[in-house]
Amino acid sequence: MSQVASFSIDHTGFLDAQGKVQGELPAFARDAETLTRLYKAMVLTRTFDAKAVSLQRTGRLGTFASSLGQEAVAVGVGEALRPEDVLLPSFREQGGQFLRGVTMTELLLYWGGDERGSDYAGPREDFPICVPVGTQAPQAAGVALALKLRGEARVAACVFGDGATSRGDVYEAMNFAALQALPLVFVVNNNQWAISVPRARQTAAETLAQKAVAAGMPGLQVDGNDVIAVRHVVGEAVERARRGGGPALIEALTYRLSDHTTADDASRYRDDAEVSARWKEDPVARLRTYLSEAGHWTKEAEEALIADCAARVEAAVEEYLATPALPPSAMFDHLYAELPAALEAQRDEVTANNDAEGDEP
């Protein structure tokens, strides 16, 4: 008997839970301005999430998925991409979407049930939020195939959760991407919970990163609560893919401090003590500690940031709430590139019956 294959999975982290540097920071992280930008992006995301949950609780927003405790994953991915790259998010990547130019008003419209919120004014070629689990993974492979066939030096980044890694189509996407050496980076936001199913009951595999091994591409694990590590490891994979080095799978270890969505009550199945312990690993607090101790952040700066984030979120909420509802005939908009005659007749009937009564449906 002889061994024909073996693997190992590397784990990367720079800032520990107390905000202390382990090892040597990557070059970009020696720039205080970059780190401050990442910190601000995480605080804005947290402020937005809290407000969105409040809006849902008072009947002014539909179901919403908070990214509380996981801000570093999406923000790190968003920072690692170039503007011309393509982000295919799941539904908890608002932190990265904001960095790429999606507005808070757009996401509020989306979660408020208005499809216009997915028509991003900023990143025109980023994909909309994908609620079905893992559906965007084979599509990401398709985007990457298109980028490769078109000969463009651009990279697709696809984010999904730990639960999605159990799906066949996600593996199919990874297998095809590796086979064709596509410019694609898969990021697993492993927040330990697929609604009520804990990570330990999701798969017998020791890590989710090793799901890459069978597909034939690198699998890496990163501390998903350390935004520096996420930015660094995803960034290296993105640039490798851009050079024609093929795809990679990055598992970001984090924790869902919130409910799954506002339609969920995690206290029914999850021990509060577990959640309290995980708060000690908060990605926002650890970067603030590091920045403060390094002399790059002050109490005054913190107060100003909190006020600024609150004002920006408030302005977005006002814009969202002031957006007129869609007219009934809009249900036919964008159904086809050109509306077939039979549907045109239906639309005209709806318009005649409803739109005449005013703007409010």
Task: Write out the catalytic residue numbers.
Answer: 256, 260, 269
Start-to-end CA distance of the chain, whole Å, equals 73
CA distance 227 to 42: 9
| CB 269 to another protein: min, Å | 11
Q: Which residues of 47-61 are buried (b: 16+ CB within 10 A; e: fewer)?
A: bbbbbbbebbeeeeb
| CB 136 to another protein: min, Å | 8
Cβ proximity of 111 and 63 under 8 Å: yes
Site for another protein in 79-118 (CB under 8 A): 86, 112-113, 115-116, 118
* Number of residues near another protein (by CB under 8 A): 72
Q: Is 157 in the site for another protein (CB under 8 A)?
A: no
Span near another protein by CB under 8 A; candidates 46-54, 76-84, 205-213, 236-244: 46-54
Contacting another protein (CB under 8 A), which of 172, 236, 302, 355?
A: 172
| CB 229 to another protein: min, Å | 29
Contacting another protein (CB under 8 A), which of 73, 87, 140, 305?
A: 140
Q: Is 181 in the site for another protein (CB under 8 A)?
A: no
Q: Is 132 in the site for another protein (CB under 8 A)?
A: yes
Q: Is 179 in the site for another protein (CB under 8 A)?
A: yes
DSSP output for 199-224: GGGT-SSS-STTHHHHHTS-EEEEET
Secondary structure (3-state) at 246: coil
Site for another protein in 184-243 (CB under 8 A): none
CA distance 252 to 261: 20
Considering only CA atoms, which of 93, 172, 171 is closest in space to residue 130? 93
- How many residues comprise the chain? 361
Q: Please, which residues have CB within 8 angstroms of residue 242's CB and are 6 or more apart in sequence?
A: 153, 154, 155, 183
Contacting another protein (CB under 8 A), which of 34, 36, 63, 203?
A: 63
Q: Is 146 in the site for another protein (CB under 8 A)?
A: yes
Span near another protein by CB under 8 A; candidates 37-45, 69-77, 186-194, 338-346: 338-346
Span near another protein by CB under 8 A; candidates 76-84, 129-137, 197-205, 243-251: 129-137
Other beta carbons within 10 angstroms of residue 102's beta carbon come to 26
Secondary structure (3-state) at 103: coil
Q: Is 141 in the site for another protein (CB under 8 A)?
A: yes
Name which of 151 and 295 has its Cβ closer to another protein: 151
Q: Is 321 in the site for another protein (CB under 8 A)?
A: yes
Q: Which residue in the block uniquely carries the two structure tokens 């982000």? A: 87
| CB 201 to another protein: min, Å | 21
